[in-house]
Amino acid sequence: MRKLYYRTMRICAGVWAGSIMGPPSAGRGQWLRWLMSLSLFMLCVMMYIAFSNMSLPPVIQMGISDWAPYRTHPLKDKGWFERTCLQGTGPLGLEGIPDVIVDWRHSKHVECRDLYLTFIKLLEVRQEEGSVDLPDPFKVKVRSWLANDNSLFQHIYDQRMVFIRNKYTREENVFNPLRSKRPLPKLEKPERQYIEELSTQTKEGCDFCRYHEYTARDSLGRVEGLHSFTAANTFKLDRWHDLVLLKKHHPINWTQEEFLDLMETLLKWFEKVNQADQNYVYPSAIWDLLPHAGASQVHPHLHSFMDKERYQGFQDQWREAAMRYSGDFPKRNYFSDLIQLHAIMGLTVQYGSAVAFANIVPKKDNEMVIVSERADRDFFLLWYFVLRGFLDDMQNGTMCFSSGAAFPSMTGDTSSQSLPAYVRIITRGIVSDNRADISSLELFTTPNANTDPFHVISVMKESVLK
């Protein structure tokens, strides 16, 4: 419409230039041409008035393309990949990924070649090298930072940085393996002791523990389960924005039964909102655990949202990435391909219909992503196992976390307007640390997650299997 408007105006300008010369002094043919020009000019004036008064739409609807829906299917694993696609590259790990890619590119196997093409469609890997020169007094301090490990210290002079970028989400991370090998700072007290003391100190005055008297309700009232309940967020960020909370105050001592009840209450709230207003169909949730991760209260609670036009913020960024990928490669599903690439590197663990992977392009430390066709029991159990893996099995700097989840559209649509069920979980560092774990690196440049996804997945596999 805008192009038609501008083209019409250019034609009108030409007609105006011809008509303002006035009627010719002689010749019937010239009189007729002048009258036609004048008539066209008057038509242009009418069109200009019509265009100027035309009401504009509130939004511009972009083209919608269907994608192949995400489906759980058998995955090629790391053993198959190493046997079939590689010719002698060492064990898979962050430091060796650039060499693996070179080796992989020369494979003659049809499936290996197809997976290689999938990798370079989705991801971009580059490597940089850097060195430093240390004054003698500073060497002593750097050695102490590295626990006086001479082999680690020698790597200071020859550092390799690996940049990995997701071409469709535009997310990127830079790994310097040396940074992840630095010892953790000494703690004044064990993290669990800190959490126990914090839980005890905050329980007596906790509003969430007395939710009937000290939390708000929205127009739909509360959803309440055996171990969980909902409350309206007093200072809303959207029309439908609630809290979903455990009844237990302790931030980390919740059981599988209590967690599943929390998730059931979350799903019931989504259903209740959609029944009240069927225009709201995009469900999502976020969860920060403990103050160092950004939680305003120690009492465990999620924020739940339901939107009518799109998923919340960065969650919709993944949907848009998947839509662009499907547009570039019809009949391919972004999530299926992304998971398969992680599987051949040994970075996935499955539980029933759900799969979790240690993200090779993490948003922050130790990122785990869980994906399933539906938000079913398998999905929530794997979510629970991953969280307990952070809280019980890793522990060092992993006992507070941030997470964001999105769920399939309430319409049942499997096109590009709906995501599968997925949650991204990152850890936020030592719970008692007064230093921020988010800096200008994460906000404005390339994030640096210092943790090795190959180590993260090794812990999570044990957490799921035990």
Closest CA to 46 of 89, 92, 15, 81: 15
Torsion, Cα of 174, 177, 178, 182 (10° steps): 100
> What average pLDDT does this structure show over 191-195?
93
* Predicted TM-score (pTM) of this structure: 0.86
* pLDDT band, residue 47 (cuts 50/70/90): low
Residue 124 has pLDDT above 70, yes or no: yes
pLDDT given at position 57? 57
> What average pLDDT does this structure show over 166-193?
84
First and final C-alpha spacing in the chain: 62
pLDDT given at position 181? 72
pLDDT given at position 55? 63
pLDDT given at position 11? 55
> What average pLDDT does this structure show over 360-367?
94
> What average pLDDT does this structure show over 239-264?
97
The percent of residues above 90 in pLDDT, for the chain, comes to 60
Please tell me the least confidently modeled range out of 62-66, 246-250, 271-275, 326-330: 62-66
d(Cα 376, Cα 359) in Å, to the nearest integer?
A: 22
Higher pLDDT, 169 or 15: 169
3-state secondary structure 288-310: ECCHHHCCCCCCCEEEEEEECCC
> What average pLDDT does this structure show over 221-243?
95
- To the nearest whole number, what is the mean pLDDT of the chain? 86
Q: Residue 427: helix, strand or coil by DSSP?
A: strand
Please tell me the least confidently modeled range out of 28-42, 157-171, 291-305, 376-390: 28-42
> What average pLDDT does this structure show over 232-260?
96
pLDDT given at position 62? 45
pLDDT given at position 90? 63
The neighbour count for residue 108, using CB atoms within 10 Å, is 7
Residue 422 has pLDDT above 60, yes or no: yes
Closest CA to 368 of 395, 347, 399: 347
The percent of residues above 70 in pLDDT, for the chain, comes to 85
The answer to whether the beta carbons of residues 314 and 402 sit under 8 Å apart is: no
Fold of the 73-466 domain = HIT family, subunit A (3.30.428)
3-state secondary structure 145-210: HCCCCHHHHHHHHCEEEEEEEECCCCCEEEECHHHHCCCCCCCCCCHHHHHHHHHHHHHCCCCHHH
Q: Residue 42: helix, strand or coil by DSSP?
A: helix
d(Cα 288, Cα 404) in Å, to the nearest integer?
A: 9
Residue 31 has pLDDT above 90, yes or no: no
Closest CA to 394 of 439, 452, 354: 452
Please tell me the least confidently modeled range out of 12-21, 137-146, 193-202: 12-21
pLDDT given at position 10? 58
Residue 188 has pLDDT above 60, yes or no: yes
Name every residue whose Cβ is closer than 8 Å to that of residue 364 and which is 6 or more positions away in sequence. Answer: 402, 426, 427, 428, 437, 438, 442, 447, 449
Residue 287 has pLDDT above 70, yes or no: yes
> What average pLDDT does this structure show over 64-88?
82
Residue 60 has pLDDT above 70, yes or no: no
The answer to whether the beta carbons of residues 421 and 408 sit under 8 Å apart is: yes
The neighbour count for residue 265, using CB atoms within 10 Å, is 24
Q: Return the DSSP state at 368.
A: E
Higher pLDDT, 17 or 266: 266
